[in-house]
Structure formats: C-alpha cells, structure tokens
Structure 1
Amino acid sequence: MVRRIDVTGTGGVRLAAWEFTDPPKIGGAGEAERGPGVLLLHGLMGRAAHWADTARWLSARYRPVGLDQRGHGRSDKPADGPYDRDAYVDDAIAAIEQLGLAPVVLIGHSMGALTAWQLAARRPDLVSALVICDMRASALGAASQQDWTEWFRSWPVPFATLADVRKWFGEDDPTLERPRPARGEFFAEVMAERADGWRPVFSRRQMLTARATWVHDAHWEELAHVRCPTLVVRGLDGELGRAEAQEMVRVLPGGVYAEIADTGHLLPWEQPDAWRRAVDPFLAEALPST
C-alpha cells in the first residue's frame, strides 16, 4: 500500500510524502509496529516514486517514506522558490517531525544525499543512520553548471510518446557513452502528458536554480559533522570517483564504503540487487535492535 500524506514545508510549501507501508492497525501497538522510520530523498529531477522498489524490501523491517521535494513530483513548485540548501533541509526536517519519523534513517541519492548529510550535521538528534548514494563533497564549479544548461537545451521537448522519452534518455542522449535502459525508465517516471506531448513534471529553470546553490561550494565541513553511522555508495561509472568516495569515508566519523560494478549514477535502478546487498546489511548493523 502507498498512501499520500501532505507535509507543510518551509514558507508554507505543500510537500507530497508517500508512505510505502500499511498504517498501524486500530488497537495495535501504533508506531512501534511500523519499525524505525526511513526518509528516502531523491536527487535533482527525481521523485519519491523512484524509490518504490527500495521501499518494498525496506518495509519488511522499517517504515519507509518517500518525499517529493519542492519543485519535484506532486509537491508545490513555487515560481520564486526558494530553492536553496536551507529550504531543502528545512523541508526534510519538517517531514521528519510532522510524520513522527525520528530518529530516522536518511537515504539520499545525488542532491538528496547532500540534503541528507546537511540535515544530519545540523540536527543529529533526528538521525540514526545515513546512506549517501553517488554524491560528491567537492565543488563542481561553473563549467559543470554550464554543461547542465546546455544539456537541458538539447532535450527534444515535447516528446511524442513515452517510448520516445525512454529511447532518448536511454540511447540517444549525446551525453551517454553507452545505452542505459534504466535511465530511460527513470526519466519516463518524471514526464506528464500535455496537449502537445510529454513534458517533464518539473521546470528545468528551477532545477538549474536549485543546482546553482550547491555546485559552486565544497561540503566537506558539513560531512565531518555527521556523527551517525554512514554508508557511502558509488557506482563504478558514476559521478563520485573512488578516491573522493574513500576520502569522504575517512572524513566521516562513522563512514563505511561500498562500490557497485557495472553501473553509473543511477545505481539503485541499474543494479537494484547489488544496491540492496550494500544497504541492507549496513542498516542491520547500524540499527541492530530492528
């Protein structure tokens, strides 16, 4: 069962949260029956629905909740934002507190991972464990932002069909070195049908605005302030390099390293079984009482 629960984020922004487990039975033990809370934070352009497979196996022992972050999915997309780091972190804190998830496990992919470790550094009282999936702590710089601007401009929007979406992002995108079918499926999840064809459910302008608030800065200091057990996972062909990932583990007081072969940035969706084999034992050790 998946049910939607609206959360009020910073500035009154309405955020759609999705609980992937059955609610507790009337007369039952309440929160204790649902296990420790897990907040799943997607990356830039993502949505909570991307975590459905992960949530399915997590739900055996935990209470997984996915959050459509501001500007994404079915959450509000305020024209004037804000889309800065504080807004994303404060939204996630609001979700944890309003849904009664603390002490929570944070699992974040890409930008969602950055939000997760910034939250864990700021509010260690709310977080029991952390999983960082393919997110760099180093600054990416202006050239990276320009590359993204040009990439967004290259999208042949609107797409005539979802099959066209899957093909372009999985095969025809000029940034691809080889076909990645899982990537095509990933982007099909964030398209909606309009009168003229299929368009993204997010604003590319807003995505660039959000990205601009973190690509120019390094985030090592915040990483060093994370006190909970933390797993850093990278795909062998992902954006996070091995040397940087291992340095992140060294900086983290409770860091653990995992690497998944034959996958890129979207490793939970390209290699779901290997992703589970990395995350599940880590959580079992970090939260032995479950």
Structure 2
Amino acid sequence: MTLTTLQRFKADNGLAYFRVGSGSPVVLVHGVGLRAEAWLHQIPQLSKQHTVYAVDMPGHGDSSLEAASSTTLNGYVDAIAQWIETDIQAPVIIIGHSMGSMIALDFASRYPQLCNGVAALNAIFRRSDTARQAVQQRAREMVENPQLDRVSAPISRWFNTEPQGLELEMAELCRQWLSIAPAAGYAQAYQIFSLEDGPSDDDLASLTVPAIFITGDGDSNSSGEMSQQMAQRCANGRYAVIKDSRHMVQMTHPVEINLLLLEFADQCEQHARNNV
C-alpha cells in the first residue's frame, strides 16, 4: 500500500481524511505542520484489523481552516467529534501525535460516548518555564513573520543531528510537508499548541477507557516523565518510552510503535466488550 494512491475523502465540515480497511474504527490525528501521511507506517498495519481514518487537521493537508469551529483546542476537537458523529457513527479508538495527542486526549475526556480508547504519542504535560517561553516565542514569530523559515528548526528538534537510513528518509518527508503546509493553518495550530499545557488532572482522572502514552527517550519537550505522569493519573493508563528516538517515533520506529498500538487496540476492544 502506498498512501499516494489512496483516495482522500472530504467531510461536509471541511475535514479531509483517508479511510482504509474494515473493522472497528481507529482515528489517527497528526501534529502541527504535518498531514495524514505522517501515519504512513501505521495505516497498513492497523487497517488489517480496523477501519482506519487518518485525518488532516483543520488548515493542514486538504482540510479547510474553517473546519475548526473556533481558534482554540476545543474548536479543533469539536470539528473532529462532529465528523466522527456524522461520518463514522460509532465509538472510535483515537490516536494522536504531538498536538494530535492534545486533540485525542481532549476528545476522550469531553466525548466519552464516542471513545473506546486513547493513545497519545509525544504529548506534552506541564512544560517547564523555559520550554513554555521558547514555544510561545516561536508561535509569536510565526504569526508576526509569515516568511520565517518554518522547516529547519522543527526538523532539528524532531530528528537526530545526522539522521541515517529510515530516519533520514522520514526527516526528508517531514521537510517536504512542512515546506508546503498552508501558512495560516500552520501558524494558527502552533499558537494553540504553544498555549496548551496538557490535559488537566481532572480530565485524566475522568478517563475510564484504556489510555497509553508513548514518547521517545530523546524527546526533551515530550519527556518520558511527562508520559508517566499522565498515565498515573488515568484509571486504565500505561506508558512506554521508545529507546534511541526523538519526536517522530511513529515514523522513525514503526516496528515498536505498531506492536504497541496493535496490542493497545486489542485491549480497547476487550474493554469495550466487557463494558457493554
């Protein structure tokens, strides 16, 4: 399967998405500046047992910026929830990466009737003051200077300094996607991302479905400690840290990530059956 040959569907609310496979639904949500293709390694594996929906965030890929009901995280989540209610019409396992993890966790908390499980990859939780100031400064610069290089800095944060093999290939893909990302959609999403500090303790405690938090051991902005802290606040939470990886774990370490996600999806299915 190559994603370049897959059809992109368009929902009435302006969200674009891939739909592949058959079975219980899994929704994949990418991070800022990227697109549904960021799940290129997960879609073929998950779609063997599930109907996989990989969505472009509002203002990314082929999704319209107006798909979001407001310029807040809630607005992005509400747009995805509306699409799930209208087009999928069933509870989903939702998997997010980076800002997509923020969306997935907020969705699981605010739309529990639509969620059978949530996986958060490279999520942030209680940034340090230094990290918070840095990300908010980047967001301001992006808005004030649309011609700013939006490619080199993310690539240097997301990947090793001298990537080799698969990591080099994935870095080049991300470089391409970032270079063609719509400026307005990229800037708006990054502003939202910079102002969020992860789910509240109450939101995490409210989750009754299985939840897994995964990050790379070299991702300083989405550390293993953050994943552990979020997992410990959930009734059915666990976490995993991928060795020798940074921010783009689903792209650079697909074997480890796919094993975790397939096992997690089975756990979610069993939990849903037991709680009918």
Normalised by the size of structure 1, how large is the TM-score? 0.77
Q: 1:245 to 1:79 in 2, by over 3 A?
A: closer
Deviation at 1:284, TM superposition (A): 1.8
Measured after TM superposition, the shift of residue 57 of structure 1 is 0.5
Which amino acid in structure 2 is aligned with residue 144 of structure 1?
Answer: V
Distance 1:250 1:79, change over 3 A: closer
In 1, Cα distance between equivalents of 2:68 and 2:263? 42
Stretches of structure 1 lacking an aligned partner (at least 5 in a row): 22-33, 159-164, 193-199
- CA-atom RMSD, angstroms? 3.0
1:144 aligns with 2:145: no
- The answer to whether structure 1 residue 260 and structure 2 residue 242 are counterparts is yes
Q: 1: distance between equivalents of 2:158 and 2:265?
A: 34
Return the letter of the residue paired with 1:136.
Answer: I
Q: Percent identity?
A: 23
Residue of structure 1 equivalent to 2:96: 108
Change (3 A) 1:273 1:16: same
Which has the greater radius of gyration? 1
Instruction: Provide closer, same or farther for how the CA distance between residues 170 and 81 of structure 1 changes in structure 2, counting only shifts above 3 A.
Output: closer
Note the alpha carbon deviations across 1:8-46, whole angstroms, 9 max, x for none.
Answer: 33xxxx11122123xxxxxxxxxxxx2110110111112
> Are the structure 2 counterparts of residues 79 and 59 from structure 1 closer, same or farther at C-alpha, using a change threshold of 3 Å?
closer
The equivalent of 1:5 in structure 2 is 9
How far did residue 78 of structure 1 move? 4.1
Q: Relative contact order, CA 8 A, sep 6+: which one is greater?
A: 2
Are residues 1:38 and 2:26 paired?
A: yes
Match of 1:94 in 2: 82
Count of residue pairs the alignment pairs up: 256
2:236 maps to amino acid: G
Q: Tell me how far apart the structure 2 counterparts of residues 19 and 250 of structure 1 sit (CA, whole Å).
A: 33
Shift in alpha-carbon separation, 1:190–1:142, aligned structure 2, 3 A: closer
Q: Higher helix share goes to which structure?
A: 2
Equivalents in 2 of 1:157, 1:117: separation in Å?
30
Match of 1:19 in 2: 19
Unaligned runs of 5+ in 2: none
- Deviations 1:182-221, CA, capped at 9 Å, x for gaps: 23322313434xxxxxxx3343432343324424x76333
Quote how far apart the aligned CAs of 1:175 are.
8.7
2:96–2:102 Cα contact (<8 Å) kept: yes
The residue matched to 2:33 in structure 1 has which SS? coil
**Residues 121, 214 of structure 2: 8 Å contact kept:** yes
Q: Deviation at 1:55? A: 0.8
Report the TM-score, using the length of structure 2 for normalisation: 0.81
Structure 2 contact 9–18 (Cα < 8 Å) conserved: yes
2:205 to 221, 224, 229: 224
Residue of structure 2 in register with 1:185 after alignment: 173
Does the Cα contact within 8 Å between 1:169 and 1:187 map onto a contact in 2? no
Secondary structure of the corresponding residue to residue 232 of structure 1:
strand
Is 1:56 equivalent to 2:44 in the alignment?
A: yes
Structure 2 residue aligned with 1:278, among 260, 269, 273? 260
- The 1-side partners of 2:253 and 2:159 are apart by 18
**Secondary structure of 2:16's match?**
strand
Pair 1:157–1:104, CA change in 2 (3 A): same
